[in-house]
Structure 1
Amino acid sequence: MASSSTSTATSTPFALELLPHPPSPAAKSPLASITTRQSTSRSHDEENSPVGDQPPEGAMVFERPNVSEVKGRLIAANFAVFLAGLSDASTGALIPYLQDAYDVGLLFVALIYLTNFAGWLVAAFTNVHLTARIGMGGAFVFGAFMQMAAYCIMFWKPPYPVFVCSFFFCGLGLAYQDAQANVFVANVNNAHRWLGLLHSLYGAGALISPLIATLIASKTPYWHYFYVVALGFSALNLGLLSWNFRKDLKGTAAARDSAGKDLKSALKERSVIILSLFFFLYVGAEVTAGGWVVEFLIRVRGGKASEVGYVASGFWGGLTVGRLVLADITHRLGERRMVMFYVLLSVVVQLIFWFVPSLVTSAVMISLLGFLLGPLFPTGISVLTKLLPRELHTAAVGFSATMGQAGSAAFPFMTGAIAAKSGVGVLQPVLVGLLAGMAGLWVLLPRTRRPTA
């Protein structure tokens, strides 16, 4: 993608050249070019919209970028999302240790999630404006810098108020990167597969995070040294994004002028509102389950912190495998049908986890829950791009993905706040309620794209 391709909300899907069709004649340079002509659809490109639903005459259309450049950007975007998983899953495994270190209760621990939520919420409404001004690459790099700055604060175990505030910058940085990654990957050929890979790497990061965090915290008195590891990863992330998106560090005047209008137009779409709420509940369920399961197994099921800390990795491992294994199956059997099937089956699995008081059963069920939840987010992004006109993809996908990720902080905070008074057993009804809400929202999702002028 060239610099303009992500700083304007009129972007269209570009090809990854992994399919056996010939390259576009217009792709004459290593960079994606911008043209004002009417684009055409390739009949064998299943991710493209029909020819009759092209952007209006004069809209910016993006030609196929250089293959090697796209691959490099895909690697960088995937690594950024991998690091997001590493960050999101670490807090839950470290809760028992930071409670002892700072001598705080669950309510004060929950403030971490609230501060993180504030960062995501700010990003949801500013992402389209930031991207319009500094381009996709600029937003990526700014987000990576904010994330690295947060780890620079966390790793030396500062006073608790400072430690909590650092999660605002971490959430803000992760949100900008997540929005750009979803917009970028949602517009390649066979996007359902690439989105599945992207979000499976999030799961992979979340899988190894509790393992690293628990190992450091249980074997040394320096639990906060986990953030030294995260800092090293974030420095690599900043380097990858800066290099691969170095030609996309500037927005355009047209994008800056249209950013506010594009966001308003996206928010008028029923599908954007419904899927934003769906993602909000989904990511809330995902991170609440992965973040509080360790504390639940310790307080309710009598497990040891040094042992059950690894159970969280079972959940994230299931999530990773689910996104890899179920991507094509979901696409072939029908995305709408399969998402509803996964959600209903998840309710059954969650009820077994709730009512069978066994550590082994809990470990198995939480892993299976992760497996079933795995494909929901990438599938939702894929469905959203098919419901919306192309010129709204940047604003809509960026907002929906970021607002959805805000749930990763909102519901863990709510769970922790309630648990401080009623006990961590509240995790179970919260998860069931989130799953039920997801099912209801999915039923309300429109089945066809709203007609456009």
Structure 2
Amino acid sequence: MATTIVTVPPPVASIELESRPLTAGLRVPPINTQSHTISAGDEESSPLEDRPPEGATVFERPNVSTVKGMLLSTNFAVFLAGMNDGSTGALIPYLQPAYDIGLLFVAVVYLINFSGWLVAAFTNVHLTARLGMGGVLTVGAAFQFTAYCLMFWKPPYPLFVFSFFLLGIGLAYQDSQANVFVANVNNSHRWLGILHALYGAGALFGPLIATTIAARTAHWHCFYLVTLGLAVVNLGLLVWTFQDGLFKGTAAAKESASQDLKKALSQRTVIVLSLFFFLYVGTEVTAGGWVVEFLIRVRNGDPSKVGYVASGFWGGLTLGRLVLADISHKLGERRMVFAYIILALVAQLIFTLVPNIIANAVMISLLGFFLGPLFPTGISVATKVLPRELHIASIGFAATMGQAGSAAFPFLTGAIAAKSGVKVLQPMLIGLLAGMAIFWAFIPRVARHSS
């Protein structure tokens, strides 16, 4: 039997989500998943033998030019999430006297935030099936907007804490959908690097703005008036760019939502990635959130000055995601993650052993630089080692559970610090970095295919 070699053009620029096309101004017939074809030369695609089962719902990688509006809105949503996460730690020295509370009650803020992320982790796939990607992004942005409406006027402490529950749900829905969306465009490793670099940029500007407002005025809570204004822009952008099919799920997706989540959780790789992300984001936000309090209490730093050190950490993280994305892709993502973890451990050990604020500021920035590429690299690897028909459920769950670590470990650090002092930050970070290396070792190698 003769073999005919056919050059297959790149796929039509649309995204197949829940058996319907998601396009930017174009209406393209749904892609027939029964005869799914991987384009020649597409490094990001799954191996040829890893075809989705008949009738499965999968993404087709679009050209970036056709979804640039959606990329813009998801990137802005993640930027605002970074502003939120980066500012909480910088405001701790002002939050305590304002409400007359100790570190344990400050840590409760992170615990309540964690509960919001946890709820979102198990409801995300069901909500996506009913509302579609744009609908879930919009609902998440609405939760975030509501939370800032409660926070900016310095409400009673119980209400202020409750707002972090709403914030956790809102950020979780947006984060999971943004990661799934960007992970499935062409050259996703590069766009994931940009997406998470913008998170770092938001976390860089967040402490700068928060510290400036808190140090120069008596109204530290006015920082949330700034984020409230940006939340309005965020909500409008998401509604505008995802308006095609907004809040429209499909009957097939609704029926398969529970099954998809069960299948995703039955994948060992999903569990391991979730734990890796859980420790990683916990490391990231614990370091950025508690370093200011550490420098004040252990290094005797001036609160009005060391508050900016947190921005150095997030600045390093942003730069790392921009500079190291292509390097990681070319040299091998799996091995480079191990290299970055080792370098991060070195920076953290120097930070611990050298009691000098300037040296600490440099090392915390380097820690951020080497931590930076780990999350986007993990998402990129996930798209290659997980079945494509489970990307929504598996990547959404792993990313959301990972972000839950942004609340769990800062809470744990604060709870221990309330009894033993903020010096526990250093062994906590070293333990988290070591745990990340262990879990990453269980991630399967990416199987590459020839075109």
TM-score (normalised: structure 2): 0.93
Please state how far the C-alpha of 1:33 moved relative to its aligned partner.
Answer: 3.3
Please state how far the C-alpha of 1:48 moved relative to its aligned partner.
Answer: 1.1
Counterpart of 1:35 (choices 31, 35, 41) is 31
Change (3 A) 1:387 1:66: closer
Please state how far the C-alpha of 1:286 moved relative to its aligned partner.
Answer: 0.2
Change (3 A) 1:112 1:372: same
**Bigger shift: 96-105 or 44-53?**
44-53
CA distance in 2, matches of 1:253, 1:105: 50
Q: Is the CA contact 2:61–2:185 (under 8 Å) kept in the aligned structure 1?
A: no
**Which SS does the other structure have where 2:49 is aligned?**
helix
The answer to whether structure 1 residue 162 and structure 2 residue 151 are counterparts is no
Please state how far the C-alpha of 1:69 moved relative to its aligned partner.
Answer: 4.5
Change (3 A) 1:442 1:100: same
Please state how far the C-alpha of 1:40 moved relative to its aligned partner.
Answer: 1.2
Q: Note the aligned Cα RMSD (angstroms).
A: 2.0
Please state how far the C-alpha of 1:53 moved relative to its aligned partner.
Answer: 2.0
Partner amino acid, structure 1, of 2:365: S
Q: Describe how 1:23-422 pairs up with structure 2 within 5 A.
A: 30-36=26-32, 37-60=34-57, 68-249=65-246, 250-422=248-420
CA distance in 1, matches of 2:152, 2:84: 13
Q: Is the CA contact 1:34–1:61 (under 8 Å) kept in the aligned structure 2?
A: no
Change (3 A) 1:2 1:325: closer
Partner amino acid, structure 2, of 1:144: A
How far does the alpha carbon of each residue in 1:321-356 deviate from its partner, in whole angstroms, 9 at most, with x for none?
Answer: 000000000111111111001101111110110110
5+ residue gaps in structure 1?
15-26
Partner amino acid, structure 2, of 1:214: T
CA distance in 1, matches of 2:61, 2:100: 56
Please state how far the C-alpha of 1:55 moved relative to its aligned partner.
Answer: 1.7
**Which SS does the other structure have where 2:195 is aligned?**
helix
Please state how far the C-alpha of 1:29 moved relative to its aligned partner.
Answer: 7.8
**Which SS does the other structure have where 1:246 is aligned?**
coil
Question: Percent of pairs identical after alignment?
Answer: 70
Change (3 A) 1:166 1:60: closer
Q: Is the CA contact 1:151–1:227 (under 8 Å) kept in the aligned structure 2?
A: yes
**Which SS does the other structure have where 1:35 is aligned?**
coil
How far does the alpha carbon of each residue in 1:259-299 deviate from its partner, in whole angstroms, 9 at most, with x for none?
Answer: 11001101111111101000000000000000000000000
Q: Is the CA contact 2:59–2:389 (under 8 Å) kept in the aligned structure 1?
A: no
Please state how far the C-alpha of 1:66 moved relative to its aligned partner.
Answer: 7.7
CA distance in 2, matches of 1:32, 1:289: 46
Change (3 A) 1:69 1:231: farther
How far does the alpha carbon of each residue in 1:383-412 deviate from its partner, in whole angstroms, 9 at most, with x for none?
Answer: 111111110111000000000000000000
Partner amino acid, structure 2, of 1:126: T
Change (3 A) 1:228 1:284: same
CA distance in 1, matches of 2:444, 2:192: 21
Partner amino acid, structure 2, of 1:31: R
5+ residue gaps in structure 2?
1-11
Please state how far the C-alpha of 1:62 moved relative to its aligned partner.
Answer: 5.4
CA distance in 1, matches of 2:280, 2:164: 21
Change (3 A) 1:364 1:64: closer
Q: Is the CA contact 1:139–1:176 (under 8 Å) kept in the aligned structure 2?
A: yes
Please state how far the C-alpha of 1:28 moved relative to its aligned partner.
Answer: 12
Q: Describe how 1:11-22 pairs up with structure 2 within 5 A.
A: none
Q: Is the CA contact 1:292–1:412 (under 8 Å) kept in the aligned structure 2?
A: yes
How far does the alpha carbon of each residue in 1:184-218 deviate from its partner, in whole angstroms, 9 at most, with x for none?
Answer: 00011111100000000000000000000000000
Please state how far the C-alpha of 1:50 moved relative to its aligned partner.
Answer: 2.9
1:440 corresponds to = 438
How far does the alpha carbon of each residue in 1:46-101 deviate from its partner, in whole angstroms, 9 at most, with x for none?
Answer: 11123332222333455665865500000001000001100111110000101011
How many residues align? The count is 434
Q: Is the CA contact 1:315–1:368 (under 8 Å) kept in the aligned structure 2?
A: yes
